[in-house]
């Protein structure tokens, strides 16, 4: 009689485990998959590797190899008849010497990979970029000698790429964003990853959205961001025409800008130099600055408006320069509206920079890459729900919390000490 009973209990246990395994618990990093610590209720698979053909759902694969150094990325809905409901993930390649560009992976409406091709080639160090409102991707060259240009790219590869006016003087460009809230005036912004890289802005009066593709090709008045700090965490700002003055201001107050996103009336700008991010209120002319609660430095961000209307900001991470050398673990993090940070996942032996976090239009898939390894991941919830569906973070969060010197040393000595060993 003992065994059947035990069997029954085991069966019940199995069910209970299964049921709880279905729940997504952000920050409860008990899951292990693909050499990553994942929040409970997530699973991950690698869908592309640099230098290898991309495998398609039908068993065939791409003729072109997946690009190296995948960086900034975005998802575009496919509005074509042939793949209505599908989408494309465009991703910059930060490869040097004319080997960069933009690659595009196409998905069917069920999230299966059906195509891969380069939609911009012959450029270098395409780092970050940004999405426009008219189905185009802006890709910025981070040329270390200051000769980078900025291109507008058709995610579907039908229109030929064009250089845009912003940044055509050459620079170490990073990210693009635009403010299109007022139909009569469009502001376009770029960041530059140098100590004195002032955020640049072009102002287009009465943009002609019937031919939206053409708007950014034309030049428009240019000015630069100038901060007037009240203290370390807030202040006011203005836009000034004097480039030299703005560069001196950037060097003092917002050096080496990287990721940038427009989020309602907020322009979020990451400063790698300060390892934090600014939120510029474009309507009020004031800003806040914050250093996120995770070990490395924030880089790119994307805002998700969840089904209940609340916002979550997802951050990618770059290890501190010194740290990365020792194989620091980097991951993806969220910040909720109350300012709480949660670790969604982090890798063990992967390269020290995550990039290109973006979501499928239905929210069922989260994509991101480990840049130097050149692995692109597709992360899903095992409960089958969308990432837009709110989930309660676990009490235990974070891969090491604040940046005390002890954490640093601990991390160096025991790189995988914060979780179980990976297989």
Ligand X SMILES: *[C@@H]1O[C@H](CO)[C@@H](O)[C@H](O)[C@H]1NC(C)=O
Of 239 and 387, the one with the shorter C-beta distance to ligand X is 239
Pick 303 or 382: Cβ nearer ligand X: 303
Sheet of 173-182: strand order equals 173-182, 185-192, 200-205, 222-231, 234-240, 286-290, 276-281, 266-271, 257-263
Residues in binding contact with ligand X, number by CB under 6 A: 14
Confirm if 176 and 166 have CB atoms less than 8 A apart: yes
CB nearer to ligand X: give 286 or 382: 286
Taking the complex as a whole, how short is the minimal distance between the CB of residue 268 and ligand X, in angstroms? 10
Rank residues 8 and 211 by Cβ distance to ligand X and give the closer one. 211
Parallel, antiparallel or unpaired: strands 42-49 and 266-271: unpaired
**Piece in contact with ligand X (CB under 6 A), picked from 107-115, 164-172, 176-184, 204-212:** 204-212
Stretch that binds ligand X, among 63-71, 161-169, 232-240, 339-347 (CB under 6 A): 232-240
Q: Is 219 in the site for ligand X (CB under 6 A)?
A: no
| Structure-token pair, residue 299 | 């880089």
Residue number with CB closer to ligand X (51 or 183): 183
CB-wise, 215 or 369, nearer to ligand X? 215
Query: Per residue, what are the HEC states of 37-70?
Result: EECECEEEEEEEEECCEEECCCCCEEEEEECCCE
Which residues ranging from 78 to 97 are in contact with ligand X (CB under 6 A)?
A: none
Per CB under 6 A, the list member of 211, 245, 325, 417 interacting with ligand X is 211
Are 125 and 141 within 8 A, CB to CB?
yes
Closest of 332, 356, 286 to residue 93, by C-alpha: 356
**Does 218 help bind ligand X (rule: CB under 6 A)?**
no
- Using the rule CB under 6 A, is 179 a contact of ligand X? no
Shortest Å distance, C-beta 183 to ligand X:
10
Q: Of 242 and 283, which has the nearer Cβ to ligand X?
A: 283
Backbone angles phi, psi at 6, to 5 degrees: -60, -40
Residue with tokens 């912003």: 166
Give the binding range for ligand X (CB under 6 A) out of 81-89, 104-112, 226-234, 394-402: 226-234
230 binds ligand X (CB under 6 A): yes
Q: Sign of torsion, CA 109 388 40 70?
A: positive
CB of 167 to ligand X, least distance (A): 24
Q: Does 290 bind ligand X (CB under 6 A)?
A: no
Using CB under 6 A as the binding rule, whether residue 63 contacts ligand X is answered as: no
Nearer to ligand X, 30 or 281 (CB): 281
Alpha-carbon span 396 to 383, nearest angstrom? 21
What CA–CA distance (Å, rounded) separates 28 from 39?
5
**Separation between Cα atoms, residue 13 and residue 6, nearest integer Å:** 10
Q: State which of residues 80, 233, 252, 404 lies at the interface with ligand X (CB under 6 A).
A: 233
Binding residue for ligand X, selected from 87, 189, 226, 287, defined by CB under 6 A: 287
Place of tokens 């069922």: 364
Q: What gap in Å lies between CA 405 and CA 417, rounded to an integer? A: 16
Q: Which one of 62-70, 184-192, 227-235, 337-345 is the stretch in contact with ligand X (CB under 6 A)?
A: 227-235
In 3D, which of 243, 347, 221, 226 has the Cα closest to residue 295? Answer: 347
Q: Which residues on adjacent β-strands are paired with residue 333?
A: 315, 343
Using left for φ > 0, alpha for ψ between -120 and 50, and beta otherwise, residue 401 falls in left
Residues 138-157 binding ligand X (CB under 6 A) are none
Q: What would the two tokens of residue 25 be?
A: 């618990």
Q: What separation in angstroms does the CA of 114 have from each of 23, 49, 111, 380? A: 30, 16, 9, 18
Q: Is 286 in the site for ligand X (CB under 6 A)?
A: yes
With CB under 6 A as the contact rule, the residue among 99, 121, 234, 382 that binds ligand X is: 234
Out of 115, 196, 281, 336, name the contact with ligand X by CB under 6 A. 281
| Site of interaction with ligand X (CB under 6 A) | 208, 210-211, 230-234, 279, 281, 284, 286-288
């Amino acid at each position: 009689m003992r065994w059947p009973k035990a069997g029954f209990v085991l069966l019940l246990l199995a069910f209970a485990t299964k049921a709880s395994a279905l729940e997504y618990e952000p920050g409860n990093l008990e899951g292990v998959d693909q050499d990553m610590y994942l929040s409970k209720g997530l699973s991950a698979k690698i869908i592309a590797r640099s230098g290898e053909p991309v495998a398609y759902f039908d068993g065939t694969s791409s003729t072109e190899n997946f690009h190296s150094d995948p960086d900034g990325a975005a998802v575009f809905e496919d509005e074509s008849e042939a793949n209505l409901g599908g989408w494309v993930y465009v991703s910059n390649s930060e490869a040097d010497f004319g080997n960069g560009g933009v690659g595009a992976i196409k998905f069917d409406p069920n999230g299966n990979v059906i195509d891969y091709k380069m939609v911009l080639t012959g450029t270098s160090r395409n780092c970050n970029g940004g999405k426009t409102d008219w189905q185009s991707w802006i890709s910025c060259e981070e040329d270390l000698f200051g000769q980078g240009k900025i291109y507008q790219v058709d995610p579907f590869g039908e229109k030929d790429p064009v250089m845009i006016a912003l940044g055509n003087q050459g620079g170490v460009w990073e990210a693009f964003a635009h403010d299109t809230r007022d139909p009569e005036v469009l502001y376009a912004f770029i960041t530059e990853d140098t100590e004195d890289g002032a955020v640049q802005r072009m102002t287009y009066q009465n943009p002609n959205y019937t031919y939206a593709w053409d708007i950014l090709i034309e030049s428009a008045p240019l000015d630069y961001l100038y901060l007037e700090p009240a203290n370390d965490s807030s202040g006011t700002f203005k836009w000034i025409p004097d480039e030299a003055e703005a560069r001196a201001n950037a060097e003092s107050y917002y050096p080496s800008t990287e990721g940038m996103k427009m989020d309602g009336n907020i322009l979020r700008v990451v400063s790698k130099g300060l390892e934090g991010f600014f939120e510029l209120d474009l309507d009020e002319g004031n800003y806040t600055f914050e250093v996120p609660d995770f070990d490395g430095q924030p880089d790119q961000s994307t805002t998700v408006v969840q089904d209940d209307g609340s916002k979550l900001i997802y951050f990618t991470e770059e290890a501190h320069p010194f740290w990365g050398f020792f194989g620091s673990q980097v991951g993806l993090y969220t910040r909720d509206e109350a300012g709480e940070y949660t670790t969604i996942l982090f890798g063990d032996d992967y390269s020290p920079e995550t990039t290109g976090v973006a979501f499928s239009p239905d929210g069922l898939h989260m994509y991101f890459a480990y840049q130097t390894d050149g692995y692109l991941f597709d992360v899903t919830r095992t409960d089958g729900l969308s990432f837009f569906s709110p989930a309660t973070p676990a009490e235990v969060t974070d891969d090491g919390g604040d940046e005390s010197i002890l954490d640093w040393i601990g991390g160096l000595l025991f790189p995988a000490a914060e979780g179980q060993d990976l297989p």
